[in-house]
Amino acid sequence: MTAHPTPGHPTRPGGLRLRPPRHPVDRRAVGWWTGQALVIVAPPVLVLLLLALLIPPARFWLLLPALVIAVPGLLYTLVMPRRRYRVHRWETTDDAVYAASGWIWQKWRVAPMSRIQTVDLVRGPIQQMFGLAGVTVTTASAAGAVKINGLDRTLADDLVERLTARTQATPGDAT
């Protein structure tokens, strides 16, 4: 890996450049993120609508907050997953793990192989419904783990195996 700084891409200690990773997450991640958004937005709206049906004198005062939640919630549900899909990227090399994430606040991370302490496979219930998984790479960094979410389950399994083998073969004590 080159140690020459590139404008707009600072060089990290050890000569690793912070650069955009190459691989997009699985396209099914859009459905997963949409499902997550609906789990957050739909329950309060549905409860308020149900109460508005059951309590006619309070109908206006129940429909108003339902509308106040539903309009931005619908925008969030439609915009956020597609924006995240355009931003989220990942890549592994012999030297490091790269990840880009976010949709409003974007974050690029690079974790040198010599700093990796653990590699975990993560699958929440909604991810499982879409056949997806995430990989969490824990390092000695105070900035926290590098997370790659929205990967095909088989790809994530293979990635965990490759990273585990690669980090075990990398000299250093991961500190």
The span from the CA of 151 to the CA of 29, in Å, is: 8
CA nearest 130: which of 58, 47, 26? 26
Answer yes or no: are the C-beta atoms of 133 and 127 closer than 8 Å: yes
Q: Do 157 and 125 lie in a common domain?
A: yes
pTM: 0.82
The span from the CA of 143 to the CA of 64, in Å, is: 41
Q: pLDDT tens digits for 74-125?
A: 999 999 999 999 999 999 998 899 999 998 999 989 889 888 999 999 999 9
Answer yes or no: are the C-beta atoms of 101 and 150 closer than 8 Å: no
Name the one residue in this structure whose structure tokens are 């912070």: 18
Q: pLDDT tens digits for 54-77?
A: 999 999 999 999 999 999 999 999
- Last residue of one domain, picked from the residues 83, 113, 143: 83
Alpha-carbon distances of 65 from 44, 93, 128, 161, rounded to whole Å:
9, 49, 33, 48
Residue 12 lies in a domain: no
CATH number reported for the structural domain that contains residue 153 in this entry: 2.30.29.30
